[in-house]
Amino acid sequence: MVQSSVLGFPRMGVNRDLKKANEAYWAGKISQKELLAEGKRLRGEHWKIQKDAGIDSIPSNDFSHYDHVLDHIQLFGAIPEKYSKYNLDPIDEFFAMGRGLQKPQTPEAAAVDVPALEMVKWFDSNYHYVKPTFQDGQNFKLSSNPKPVAEFLEAKEAGIITRPVLVGPVTFLALGKADRDQNVVPISLLHKLLPLYEEILIKLKEAGAESVQIDEPCLVFDLPPKVKNAFKPAYDKLSSLSGKIPELVVATYFGDIVHNHDVLPSFSNLHGLHIDLVRNPEQLDTVMGALGEKQLLSVGVVDGRNIWKANFKKAIETVETAVQKLGKDRVIVASSSSLLHTPHTLASEKKLDAEVKDWFSFAVEKTKELAIIAKAVTDGPASVREELEANAKSMESKATSKLTNDSKVKERQSKITEEMFNRKSPFPIRIAQQQEKLNLPLFPTTTIGSFPQTKEIRVQRNKLTKGEISEEEYEKFIEKEIQDVVQIQEELDLDVYVHGEPERNDMVQYFGERLTGYVFTTHAWVQSYGSRCVRPPIIVGDISRPAPMTVKESKYAASISKKPMKGMLTGPITCLRWSYPRNDIHQSVQAEQLALALRDEVVDLESAGVYVIQVDEPALREGLPLRQGLERENYLSWAVKAFRLSVAGVKDSTQIHSHFCYSEFQDFFQAIAALDADVLSIENSKSDAKLLKVFVDEAYPRHIGPGVYDIHSPRIPSEDEIKDRIQEMLQFLQPDQLWIDPDCGLKTRQWKETKAALTNMVNAAKFYRQKYSKSS
């Protein structure tokens, strides 16, 4: 019998219940007991959904109140001393590491002031994990009430035997880093960490767990020798515990593992191995050839990263290929990765066009797909004839729909010339003209774009959606919001203003709603980080811009501003990556279509009197193929060309900015330079300023805003703290090169903390402006 398996399930709940509970707890509106009870309720619901769908291996310990890697940091006691010294309650310590904590002194407790741990993208997804941070002399200690055991027993009590999920020891260490001013090599800690895996696995066996999923996704990387060589001792040790611990299934995803085929014998004595055949179906034969004699293969044939229905015909053919070689009892039908990256259920979508809705499958529906595929292979296609016929009709509908093709878009793409990718003049000429037009001081200050989206903004937007106010009333409200934001920036004495984006619901959805080729959901939320959820639009057809998208608001803001106003756009790669893209044409084609639409918008902004334009590409790094080679080179080529196509239509005197999320840019620095943006802002506030050395080594000539404080935390940095950060940056950047800004947009923050942090930032910039003015 072919069994079915889910590698992980979304955590938020059908109505973002976890987000609401977490935020209520942070605001002091619910108790810890109520928060934990809501988590338990959600876990129970999610296990039942999978059981009712007919899933054989249901995961546990995939749930987290913030992040699953952060769960493991706490599970293994890898808690930096700056958090542990406060002796906080475990859940508060957990959240302090995830989002920072700032509490005044009370008669009962000392003041607390700690920033969050660094947060980076989970492989090439839009999910963010908290990076394990290790110290010299690092030790580990298993928590007193291990979460994987507690949640397994919780499910068992509800009548469901789950398969607990653990991040594997090699991946946990490989994804970590040494803390600032520490020299520890994370993978060297393996011998200290392995005993804790032994301990937790023995506890799970004693609790009744039959198998455990060990996630080792770092196998899809080009691994350094020390990391690659760590697999053998790690899994030799775990294999030696056979009988004392549950059966182990090692899971890989987001890429192929063929290039690390010499590692596979390390797993040959384990129960099973999972591979992602949605991303890399060609790896099947090689991996099957490397399996142990009785080892199971979990084949990931239902996409855990996208919302399109599985093609049953193709999926069944793939599974049957594995069955022919291994037999039914050695094959598991699985999701390609955790379903964390997909929305909860399609049943919540009441407004989607029926034809388009029939093409989609969200997490709940994907569990049913897995059960159907497993049954089709086990009992034959006749056992699920109706389901297979319905699926075939969906595939045919999508392939032939008029919604997907626009001849005018294709014609415009065919007329793109090489000249359209290049600015008129090189940077030295451009920056001289820009300085003459903008007259900016040394260490210019700005923000990344958005300002806090207040409850009132959301209420008014909701009223417009429901028809309770007119378009005219809403536009007047937005104008007043822009006036307020401009006035606040005047009071703060920033140098380049933004209009604050009060009219925007999301930095991708807002643009998608104004472009052809997109469709939108009402409840298809997915977790980005912590309690932050996004509702990605879905690209279903060719893309074009029927009319200007942002010009009205930016033009108005510029007309009431005393200083330069920055127009804010989302770049083509981010619009692509933060949507669910089409799976019937290459992503480079979709990116080029987006670039042409944005090119028109950039030119229109300039014509409207907006001479600083920021085209954000926070997802550029996220889209980078995980391994070196031709695929990565090709991606960077078409991604860079798409950005350049979108911005190259303006005059030299118009300043083009771009923003990038997270600081891991060393491995594609040449592509960043090739964008030819006049000013880059990067999210480097939680990283070591030494990472900026690459800009020195490569003699990067243009301007940079590395981000002087972390906006993902409510914590307010002091003026001295920001001064210290700037001083660190000046070790690697020239004074006339450095912009002073937060590390990301301020949409999720509150006004009180925003004003306080920006006041400190501006004062710090003025301190250095005065210092360097005197020395010149």
**Catalytic: which of 72, 499, 657, 712?**
712
Of 288, 290, 315, 311, the closest CA to residue 300 belongs to: 315
Is the model's pLDDT at 668 over the cut of 90? no
Of 153, 166, 9, 179, the closest CA to residue 76 belongs to: 166
10 Å CB burial of residue 771 (0-12, 13-18, 19+) is middle
Average pLDDT of 706-723? 90
The four Cα atoms 555, 561, 564, 569 give a dihedral, to 10 degrees, of -40
Which residues, listed in sequence order, are joined to residue 64 by a DSSP beta bridge?
none
pLDDT at 664: 63
For every residue of 183-222, which 3-state class applies, written as one string? CCCHHHHHHHHHHHHHHHHHHHHHHCCCEEEEECHHHHCC
Which residues, listed in sequence order, are joined to residue 415 by a DSSP beta bridge?
none
Share of the chain above pLDDT 70, in %: 98
pLDDT at 713: 81
Residue at 499: amino acid letter: H
Does 128 or 688 have the greater pLDDT score? 128
Which residues touch 691 (CB under 8 Å, ≥6 apart)?
663, 665, 666, 684
Distance CA 742, CA 619 (A): 18
Residue at 25: amino acid letter: Y
Burial 722-754 (b: 16+ CB within 10 A, else e): bbebbebbbebbebebbbbbbbbbbbebeeebb
Summarised one tens digit per residue, pLDDT across range 72-101 is 999 999 999 999 999 999 999 999 999 999
Is the model's pLDDT at 54 over the cut of 80? yes
Summarised one tens digit per residue, pLDDT across range 182-200 is 999 999 999 999 999 999 9
Distance CA 454, CA 354 (A): 34
Of 339, 312, 319, 335, the closest CA to residue 394 belongs to: 312
Q: Which domains does the chain have, with CATH numbers?
A: 3-80+117-400 (3.20.20.210), 412-775 (3.20.20.210)
Distance CA 773, CA 776 (A): 5
**CB distance 115 to 713 below 8 Å:** yes
308 a known binding residue? no
533 a known binding residue? yes
Does 211 or 684 have the greater pLDDT score? 211
Summarised one tens digit per residue, pLDDT across range 360-371 is 999 999 999 999
pLDDT at 417: 97
Does 161 or 712 have the greater pLDDT score? 161
Q: In the numeric block, which tokens belong to residue 269?
A: 């004595």
How sure is the predictor about 233, in pLDDT bands with cuts at 50, 70 and 90? very high
Summarised one tens digit per residue, pLDDT across range 550-560 is 999 999 999 99
pLDDT at 687: 64
Distance CA 736, CA 441 (A): 9
Distance CA 652, CA 431 (A): 8
**CB distance 114 to 82 below 8 Å:** yes
How sure is the predictor about 776, in pLDDT bands with cuts at 50, 70 and 90? low
Distance CA 514, CA 512 (A): 5
Do β-strands 119-121 and 128-130 pair in parallel, antiparallel, or remain unpaired? antiparallel
**CB distance 567 to 614 below 8 Å:** yes
683 a known binding residue? yes
Average pLDDT of 580-605? 96
How sure is the predictor about 158, in pLDDT bands with cuts at 50, 70 and 90? very high
Contacts 24+ apart (CB under 8 A), 259-266: 259/222, 259/627, 260/219, 260/223, 260/228, 261/286, 261/287, 261/290, 263/219, 263/228, 263/231, 263/232, 264/290, 264/291, 265/290, 266/231, 266/232, 266/234, 266/235, 266/236
How sure is the predictor about 108, in pLDDT bands with cuts at 50, 70 and 90? confident
Summarised one tens digit per residue, pLDDT across range 129-154 is 999 999 999 999 999 999 999 999 99
Distance CA 250, CA 169 (A): 11
126 a known binding residue? yes
User: Residues 492, 495, 499, CA angle at the centre, nearest 5°?
Assistant: 75
DSSP secondary structure letters along 473-519: HHHHHHHHHHHHHHHHHHHHT-SSEE-B-TT-S-TTHHHHTTSTTEE
**CB distance 240 to 266 below 8 Å:** no
pLDDT at 774: 67
Is the model's pLDDT at 250 over the cut of 90? yes
Which residues touch 33 (CB under 8 Å, ≥6 apart)?
none
**CB distance 662 to 711 below 8 Å:** no
Distance CA 605, CA 551 (A): 6
Summarised one tens digit per residue, pLDDT across range 727-753 is 999 998 999 999 999 988 888 899 999
Average pLDDT of 25-51? 98
Residue at 328: amino acid letter: K
Which residues touch 118 (CB under 8 Å, ≥6 apart)?
130, 131, 133, 177, 686, 687
501 a known binding residue? yes
pLDDT at 622: 83
- State the DSSP H helix or E strand holding residue 315, giving kind and residue range, or none if neither: helix 312-326
65: annotated active-site residue = no
Is the model's pLDDT at 663 over the cut of 60? no
Distance CA 256, CA 278 (A): 10
437 a known binding residue? no
How sure is the predictor about 662, in pLDDT bands with cuts at 50, 70 and 90? low
Average pLDDT of 290-294? 92
How sure is the predictor about 574, in pLDDT bands with cuts at 50, 70 and 90? very high
How sure is the predictor about 688, in pLDDT bands with cuts at 50, 70 and 90? low
pLDDT at 392: 97
Q: Specify the 3-state DSSP secondary structure of 738.
A: strand
Is the model's pLDDT at 775 over the cut of 80? no
19 a known binding residue? yes
Summarised one tens digit per residue, pLDDT across range 348-390 is 999 999 999 999 999 999 999 999 999 999 999 999 999 999 9
47 a known binding residue? no
396 a known binding residue? no
Q: Specify the 3-state DSSP secondary structure of 250.
A: strand
Separation of CA 210 from chain center: 32
Is the model's pLDDT at 469 over the cut of 60? yes
- State the DSSP H helix or E strand holding residue 40, giving kind and residue range, or none if neither: helix 32-53
Distance CA 684, CA 704 (A): 11
Average pLDDT, the chain: 94
**CB distance 749 to 756 below 8 Å:** no
Average pLDDT of 401-413? 90
